[in-house]
Amino acid sequence: METVIFCGIQATGKTTFFKEKFFKTHVHISLDQLHTRNKEQKFIDTCILTQQRYVVDNTNPTKEDRAKYIVDAKTNKFKVIGYYFQSKLSDALNRNNQRLGKEKIPEVGIKGTFNKLEIPSFDEGFDELYFVILENNSFTIKEWNNEI
**Running DSSP on this structure, what letter comes out for residue 12?**
S
pTM score of the predicted model? 0.92
Between the CA of residue 84 and those of 3, 48, 138, what are the distances in Å? 14, 23, 15
145: Cβ–Cβ under 8 A, 6 or more apart, which residues? Answer: none
Number of domains comprising the chain: 1
Q: CA 56 to CA 40: how far, in whole Å?
A: 9
| 148 in any annotated domain | no
Q: Which domain holds residue 77?
A: 2-143
pLDDT per residue rounded down to tens, the chain (148 residues) = 999 999 999 989 999 999 999 999 999 999 888 999 999 999 999 999 999 999 999 999 999 999 999 999 999 999 999 999 987 888 888 888 888 887 888 888 899 899 999 999 999 999 999 999 988 888 999 999 865 5
Q: How far from chain centre, in Å, is Cα 114?
A: 14
pLDDT of 148 reads: 52
> At 92, which CATH number?
3.40.50.300
